[in-house]
Amino acid sequence: MLFFFRRNRTVQHVLRCACLTLLLAMTLQISFSAGLNAQGILERRVSLSMVNKPLKEVLQALNQKTSVDFVYSSKVDVHKVVSVQAQNKELRQVLKDVLTPTRLDYEVVGTSIVIKESPVPTPVPVLKKSAAAAPSLPVVVPVRGKVVDDKGEPLPGVTVLVKGTQTATVTDANGAFSIEAPANASLMVSYLGFLTQEVKVGSQQELTVKLVPDPVALGEVVVTGYTVQEKRVVTGAIGQIKSREIANMPIQSFDQAMQGRLAGVQVQTASGVPGGKVSINIRGMGSITAGNEPLYIVDGVQINSEDDAGGTVGTNPLSFLNPNDIESIEVLKDAAAASIYGAQAANGVVLITTKSGDEGPTKISVNMYRGFASPLPLIKMMDSQQYLDVRMEAYRNRYPDRTEGAIRTEVLQESMLPINMTDAQLAALPTYDWQKAAFRTGDIYDVELAASGGNKTTTYRLSASYNSSEGNLIGIDFSRATAKLRVQHKPTRKLTISTNINLSNIVQNGTQQSAGSTGFMSAPQFSSPMILPFIPITLEDGSPNNPLGGFPGELRYNPIYTAEVNFIQGKTRALYSNIILSYDITKDLNFKSTWGLDYRNINAEQYLDPRTHEAYARRGYLSIRNRESSTVSGTQALTYSKRFAGGHRLTALAGAEYRDYSRQISFSAGEGFSTYQFRHMSGAATILSSTGSWTGYRQLGFFSQANYDYKKKYMASAILRYDGSSKFGANNRFGLFPAFSAGWDIAAEDFLKDVRWVDQFKLRVGYGETGNSAIDHFASRGLFTGSSSYGGQPAIQPSSLENPDLRWERNASTNLGVDFSLFRKRLSGSVDAFHRRSKDLLLEQPVPWYGGYESMYRNVGEVVNRGLEVELNGEVLRLGGFQWNSGFNITFMDNEVTKLYEGLNGESLPGNPSVRIGHPLRTNFVAQYAGVNSATGRPMWWSGNGTLTYNPGAQGTNSYTPYGRGSQLAKYFGGFTNTLSFKGIEVSALFQYDMGREYLNEQNRTWYRNGQGARNGLERIYLMRWTEPGQVTPVPRAINGGAETDGATHILSSSRFLEDASYIRFKQLAASYAIPARFLSKFKISSARVYAQAVNLYTWTAWTGYDPEFLIDDENFTSNQGVVPQTRSYTLGVEFGF
Amino acid sequence: MTTMRNRIFPYILSASLIFVSGACNDLLDVEPTHAIDSRTALTSMEAVEAATNGVYARLRAVQQYGRDLVALPELLSDNAVHSGRGTTLQAEASNSPGAHLETWETGYAAINEANLILEALGPLSAPQSFKNSVEGQVRFLRALFYHNLVKVYAFDPTANDPTRNRGGVPLVRKGVIAVGDIDYAKGRDAVSEVYRFIYEDLTAAYQLLEGTDNARAPHFATRGAVAAFFSRVALYNGDYNKVISEANLALKSGVGQLQPAANVVASWRTDVHPESMFEVAVKPTENIGTNESLRATFTTRVNAEGKVAVSYGHAVVSDALLSDYEAGDVRKELIWKGLGNNSSKNEMTKFFSRGGVKDLDNIPVIRVAELYLNRAEAYVRLDQARWRWRT
């Protein structure tokens, strides 16, 4: 037993022996390069006079005077009485004076001093009591030595323990150690990843211990699906994120944290709504209609990633899990890894492993952070004078015959301003910043508690958290409470039972349409910049400006007031649970049974207050939507794992999996509330609608996998999965998904064994097939639905065309990769080249409407994604206690549509020219803006090569579109992270980039209107507008209505609005400081850390809207119009361990 | 003990695996509960009746009587002009290319439903009276949908331009359930053929609805509705004697009461228009909603009591039309000044949330007044012919 002793108070902490080793290792690590510092400790001068005091008190006094920590084991009798007389003496001398008479000695370890028994008569008892009674004491000798690895390189941080005692030390930066041991004793030399060696001390006093890597010891392991595999022998393309990297980011769901951290994994946050939609795209978009989101598995159970609040508030199905409860995230990127999940794995698989408890005494940790979320920079709109000026100009240009007076009257009338206003009065009109009133600084706080521990048979981890995050827009917030319990119990040697229960309750408030894109007048995120700028936000008495007749102009509502009084809320209750039974049938054969439940209830309510203009006429509106979904799954797997003589190792797996998903939605809406105080359906005079629906599917799969390696030099893996789903047509229920991969670590070959700077150089090759089945659950069925009525009588109508041939989309992917680790792991990384062919893509093919149906789905399309991924991790600098680590990843992507269905005119999908053979998905084909006729100020478009038109007409597949054919898909993306650490301080910065994306700035289509209607617009456009003949500018003259006579409107969706949405973002800056333990003991705290985080600090982009990061998912997010922009947040936190 | 358990275990496991795999296909059977399979859907009287209601419900679509068949002709012609507020219906008001009535999708969806019901009636075990009633209603509705198709997508028989006439619309007589049922080669049938088919349906419907109680009028098909609509079809077809005979049948049917001039405004304030021969019923849960409702299309007022503009009121009465009314014309009383931005515009207030709920209005398809007009026009046309013959 050891005691820990700190300044001011003699609080003693009981730590286990293992903890000491760990602690020593940690302190030593810090002091490796801080040798000077360690020396410096002993040179500190001290003055002290104490006579006949217990040693403990003397050490305490020395601690106070020198700030040096003293550490001693329980065998040191600190109650011995000592005396000290020192006048500006070096600590070295003081210690010698004090300790020598007591037969004690000391050693400097890092910044601490370890007090230990003097070598001469040292007994090595296990217990303090027996120490005194020890009959004869063996002779103790000082032993010095050096520990090296199999290549002769020194190993720092190796634990050296005198066998049978608790005397231990740790090797320094040069692998050297010194320890006192009885001459007949043995030293146990151990280091993670190496075989522990026992060395007899004997007569030798200079030892060289060569540690051999442990072939059995799982170095770093990765979760590969139904099993884990050592990273060294993985042959598929798998990315991994550890909890450390994402800890304490002020985010609501873990998907956000993955941004910029893994090659090949593109994460896009759809909006700045906390807990809102995030999209993850692994190795490109491979589907046109059936979704591009990966499969999510949490602790072996597939979760529902399709749940939403029906557009009421922006929800994220992954926010049920507190990101700080996650231990690691693994991403199966290629089919060679993912095809174990068969028909659902086409878009890759994300595997989440949550934290679990370790054997040992209970550890309690408390973590809190607090901060704020502020909006990204706002956009400058016109002021009152500019707006009125351009509005009148627009009238003047439209009606050149009208008199100035008539135009002025018209504009003032429409603006509800007195028509007799003088120029001076107009010039004095104030401008109110509605945008600023809508965006705000939101409050963020987070509190977490966790307890973990256990004994040999049972371990547990219990955690609870509460997160509250206000958005950067009024009315938007997110709060979540979670409780999670993970228990593992081993009743017998062979049986392990474990369970994992996660409960969460999420409450989100929103504004109208904050779940996606919007053009709603009552949505502040859309309307606030465009409200006529002379309309006051509040009245003179401070009450909201809310005339029931509405505001003048096109934006008639007060969205600020509306957001305040409306009640738009989504409540998610999620229960996730699994039960796992694992039984070792023999030493090599294991049976594992996993049962999982993922239950969600999302209750979304929308109450539009009758006091607002929006709901005044209907006297309030209330809708209630309740969505309940559950997934029950069961997986049975047999795993055979055996190591054969000669270095062969085989792991074989076979199993079956069944999943049953069902979802029920009920919805009702009513209007006509007596007053605004009535907020429940009982108060509605009229029930407008009350509906419900049910859907579900089942799937059954059989899987098998075999992983083989020979001395970690040659590896091979094969997967076969046979999957069926109720979603597919009767003719195509089941499908087979195979995969093969192989690897060769050249570094393990004899000819490279002596090349010291190569640790690993593993070539990988893999091919596999996976399916995508994320389609409507009854897409193959011809159905009559009963969702209609006539005259109050029930009605049924055919809703879909029967399609028995429908089947999953199939992805065939090939991967070539290399993993390397060089210069004693100072530089490691991987490079992967992949080719992913997504075929049999489901396309909605129109059928002649005279058959009664619009379209049917057929497996006809094909898309190819090609890419190159590079991931590099390096230790750039290690100097003294300073360490600089860098990580960089980049992914180059090329996407191409290679096949659509036959008979297409112009080779693009009807009604969707952006899906075209030979081009990436989401390529922009829009009318070609040719600028402004400088003679007249009219906008022009190209209608053909060299021919201009004022009216380009409707865009079709064969329209003239040679320019601006960029794609929304990034050409390359990735992240760059740097971590600097010095002693307890760590600073890390993450830059994330998404390059080569081109988007149509739909928001600008409303912001560029420049007085064409009664709404405010951009000042930039106002200042650049055409005003006189000969002026060359891209902005046409202002014109009432937007369209010149016989011309198309200037805000026509054209290349004028295409913008480069590439960006590089200073995504995250995190700084933390581990408070040295000596400051903590008096609070009974074993560890403490303070940290600060800043997210979305700065963005470099050419995009002209709020923010270039948004998403088009063709569901809630159809463009960037009215999307709540991203948030910049700053937080400060503390973490305590007890 | 351990060894025995080890020996037994694999057997239990393989047995359960075999059991599971044997039951594979059953495990993957999921029947929807919000819908029924099309193959077996129409095998009960209740389902057939509900499916018939489904055909009626198609009339409520925005592209049908929900809005377009009533409002668009006013804007496409010069009876109504656009109020200038909002972009909705601007293109129709300015007769932009492609902005027109679109009865195609919803029309053929309804026709397919009608075909499926007619095919299901044969094998259905139900009293003949039930079958007759359903068949009569469905054939009436099919004729109505076909007429609204041929009117929009082909030349009227009385206004034919043979050099540009590309035929009528495809006549689909067979129901479609599966992908393979669609006849991809189907082209347009001649206009005359389409009219012949509509005549056939209406003739049959009139006979089949013999026992139908007038109490079902005007929201469900009755003999009166069939004859009234037939008189309209015949008028489009230039079949004037038929117009007269059908109008007479309809007038004698007892459905719909012609209202005196004094009641004109009041008739447009009641839930069910007393003159309706056939009307599309709209109940609160079937409300088409603010954005596309007829009420919001024509007026800014929620109803006669409305004090605040609650919608744009896109289609307002043109000055030309207003000036055509003679002084004292009672119909002029339906034209009100709007509110808010429309306060200087003239709004038609026929659709005025008459159902008692905002935006809720039953939609008359054919009224008694039209019968008199049809018959009068037929007399004139016949007289003109006679007059021309005499001279």
Tokens standing for B110? 């309804």
Half-sphere exposure of A749 (CA within 13 A, CB side): 11
Question: What backbone phi and psi angles, to 5 degrees, belong to A233?
Answer: -110, 10
Among B5, B38, B44, most A C-beta atoms within 10 A, so best to mutate, is B38
Q: Do the domain assignments include residue B258?
A: yes
Q: What is the mean pLDDT of residues A344-364?
A: 91
Contact A1033, A390 (CB under 8 A): no
Name the pLDDT band for B25 (thresholds 50, 70, 90). low
Please tell me the distance in Å from B165's CA to the nearest CA on chain A.
20
User: Any idea what DSSP says for residue A928?
Assistant: E
Among B31, B55, B174, B285, most A C-beta atoms within 10 A, so best to mutate, is B285
Residue of A nearest to B37 (CA): A783
Interface touch A801/B176, C-beta < 8 Å = yes
Residue of A nearest to B339 (CA): A549
Interface touch A851/B176, C-beta < 8 Å = yes
By DSSP bridging, strand A349-354 and strand A295-298 are parallel
Dihedral sign of CA atoms B83, B89, B91, B97 in order: negative
Q: How far is Cα A527 from Cα B353, in angstroms, rounded to an integer? A: 29
Among B24, B25, B28, most A C-beta atoms within 10 A, so best to mutate, is B28
Out of A636, A724, A784, closest to residue B24 by CB: A724
User: Any idea what DSSP says for residue A345?
Assistant: -
Q: What DSSP assignment string belongs to A159-212?
A: EEEETTS--EEE--TTSEEEEEEETT-EEEEE-TTB--EEEE-TT-SEEEEE--
State how far the alpha carbon of A749 is from the alpha carbons of A710, A716, A745, in Å: 11, 17, 7
Question: In the prediction, which pLDDT does A661 show?
Answer: 93
Question: In the prediction, which pLDDT does A448 show?
Answer: 95
Tokens standing for A279? 């999209």
Q: Which of A285, A237, A338, A287 is nearest to A810 (CA)?
A: A287
Question: In the prediction, which pLDDT does A124 show?
Answer: 41
Q: Do the domain assignments include residue B337?
A: no
Name the pLDDT band for A418 (thresholds 50, 70, 90). very high
Cβ contacts (< 8 Å) between A549 and chain B: which residues?
308-309, 340
Contact B243, B374 (CB under 8 A): yes
β partners of residue A709: A649, A715
Out of B50, B115, B340, closest to residue A796 by CB: B50
Please tell me the distance in Å from B75's CA to the nearest CA on chain A.
19
CA A54 to the chain's CA centroid:
55
Burial of B32 (C-beta count, 10 Å sphere; 0-12/13-18/19+): middle
Question: In the prediction, which pLDDT does A773 show?
Answer: 86
Q: Which of A727, A778, A384, A332 is nearest to A553 (CA)?
A: A384
A667 interfaces chain B, CB cutoff of 8 Å:
no
Name the pLDDT band for A36 (thresholds 50, 70, 90). very low
Q: How far is Cα A718 from Cα A313, in angstroms, rounded to an integer? A: 44
Q: Which of A539, A567, A536 is nearest to A552 (CA)?
A: A536
Residue B129: strand, helix, or coil: helix
Q: Dump strand ranges (E) for A674-713.
A: 684-710
- In the stretch 853-892 of chain A, residues with CB closer than 8 A to chain B read 853-854, 856
Sequence-separated (6 or more) residues with CB below 8 Å from residue B305: none
Q: Which of A611, A430, A640 is nearest to A532 (CA)?
A: A430
Task: Provide the H-helix boundaries in A818-864.
Answer: none
- In the stretch 1001-1060 of chain A, residues with CB closer than 8 A to chain B read none
Contact A464, A480 (CB under 8 A): no
Render pLDDT for B59-74 as a digit per residue (tens, 0 to 9): 999 999 999 999 999 9
Question: In the prediction, which pLDDT does A16 show?
Answer: 35
Cβ burial A901-922 (10 Å sphere, 16+ → b, else e): eeebeebbbbeebbbbbebbbb
Q: Do the domain assignments include residue B241?
A: yes
By DSSP bridging, strand A159-162 and strand A495-509 are unpaired
Tokens 């100097």 identify what position?
Answer: A879
Question: In the prediction, which pLDDT does A109 show?
Answer: 66
Which amino acid does the sequence have at A486?
R
Q: How far is Cα A872 from Cα A513, in angstroms, rounded to an integer? A: 41
Interface touch B51/A795, C-beta < 8 Å = yes
Out of B38, B41, B57, closest to residue A789 by CB: B57
Q: How far is Cα A658 from Cα A637, in angstroms, rounded to an integer? A: 12
Structural domains present in chain A = 1-118 (3.55.50.30), 384-424+927-963+1009-1050 (no CATH)
Q: Do the domain assignments include residue B141?
A: no
Residue of B nearest to A617 (CA): B310
- In the stretch 757-786 of chain A, residues with CB closer than 8 A to chain B read 777-778, 781-786
Sequence-separated (6 or more) residues with CB below 8 Å from residue A1069: A987, A988, A989, A990, A1093, A1094, A1097
Render pLDDT for A728-780 as a digit per residue (tens, 0 to 9): 888 888 899 999 999 999 988 888 877 888 888 999 999 999 999 888 888 88
Residue A655: strand, helix, or coil: strand
Q: How far is Cα A395 from Cα A397, in angstroms, rounded to an integer? A: 5
Q: Do the domain assignments include residue B40?
A: no
Q: Do the domain assignments include residue B239?
A: yes
How many residues appear in chain A?
1138
Please tell me the distance in Å from A886's CA to the nearest CA on chain B.
49
User: Any idea what DSSP says for residue A1037?
Assistant: P
Out of A795, A798, A847, closest to residue B116 by CB: A798
Cβ contacts (< 8 Å) between A786 and chain B: which residues?
34-36, 50
A686 interfaces chain B, CB cutoff of 8 Å:
yes
Q: What is the 3-state secondary structure (H, E, C) of A424-448?
A: HHHHCCCCCCHHHHHECCEEEEEEE
Q: How far is Cα A371 from Cα A1130, in angstroms, rounded to an integer? A: 5
pLDDT(B84) > 90: no
Whether residue B218 is preceded by a cis peptide bond, meaning omega within 30 degrees of 0, is yes
Give the residue numbers spanning the domain of B246.
212-281+362-391
What strand order describes the sheet that includes A793-800?
Answer: A793-800, A783-790, B35-37
Question: In the prediction, which pLDDT does A688 show?
Answer: 86
Count of structural domains within chain B: 1
Q: Which of A704, A707, A723 is nearest to A715 (CA)?
A: A707
Sequence-separated (6 or more) residues with CB below 8 Å from residue B22: none
Render pLDDT for A682-741 as a digit per residue (tens, 0 to 9): 999 988 888 888 999 999 999 999 999 998 899 999 999 999 999 888 888 889 999 999
Q: What DSSP assignment string belongs to B231-257?
A: HHHHHHTT-HHHHHHHHHHHHHTT---
Question: In the prediction, which pLDDT does A1017 show?
Answer: 95
Q: How far is Cα B277 from Cα B257, in angstroms, rounded to an integer? A: 9
Render pLDDT for B296-341 as a digit per residue (tens, 0 to 9): 999 999 999 888 888 889 999 999 999 999 988 999 999 999 998 8
Mean pLDDT of chain A: 86
Q: Dump strand ranges (E) for A238-335.
A: 238-242, 265-269, 278-282, 295-298, 301-302, 326-332
Contact A613, A557 (CB under 8 A): yes
Render pLDDT for A668-679 as a digit per residue (tens, 0 to 9): 999 999 999 999
* End-to-end Cα separation, chain B, in angstroms: 119
β partners of residue A302: A297
Interface touch A852/B108, C-beta < 8 Å = yes
A725 interfaces chain B, CB cutoff of 8 Å:
yes
Q: What DSSP assignment string belongs to B163-232?
A: TT---------S---BGGG--TT--PPPHHHHHHHHHHHHHHHHHHTTT--GGGTTTS--HHHHHHHHHH
Lowest mean pLDDT among A24-28, A939-943, A1015-1019: A24-28
Q: Do the domain assignments include residue B314?
A: no
Q: How far is Cα A182 from Cα A162, in angstroms, rounded to an integer? A: 9
Helix (H) or strand (E) run with residue A114 in it: strand A112-117
Share of chain A above pLDDT 70, in %: 92
Name the pLDDT band for A220 (thresholds 50, 70, 90). confident
Residue of A nearest to B9 (CA): A585
Question: In the prediction, which pLDDT does A97 show?
Answer: 80
Contact A50, A7 (CB under 8 A): no
Name the pLDDT band for A323 (thresholds 50, 70, 90). very high
Q: How far is Cα A398 from Cα A1012, in angstroms, rounded to an integer? A: 10
Q: Dump strand ranges (E) for A726-782.
A: 734-745, 758-772
By DSSP bridging, strand A827-846 and strand A265-269 are unpaired
Instruction: Please give the radius of gyration of chain B, using alpha carbons only, rounded to the nearest integer.
Output: 27
Render pLDDT for A126-154 as a digit per residue (tens, 0 to 9): 444 444 444 455 667 778 888 888 767 78
Residue of A nearest to B340 (CA): A549
Render pLDDT for B274-297 as a digit per residue (tens, 0 to 9): 999 999 999 988 888 888 999 999
Please tell me the distance in Å from A364's CA to the nearest CA on chain B.
40
Contact A487, A459 (CB under 8 A): yes
Instruction: Please give the radius of gyration of chain A, using alpha carbons only, rounded to the nearest integer.
Output: 35
- Of residues A1001 and A14, more confidently modeled: A1001
Q: How far is Cα A530 from Cα A554, in angstroms, rounded to an integer? A: 9
Q: Do the domain assignments include residue B248?
A: yes
Q: How far is Cα A1089 from Cα A743, in angstroms, rounded to an integer? A: 42
CA-based angle A48:A53:A59, to the nearest 5? 55
Interface touch A852/B111, C-beta < 8 Å = yes
Tokens standing for A48? 């002290």
pLDDT(A11) > 60: no
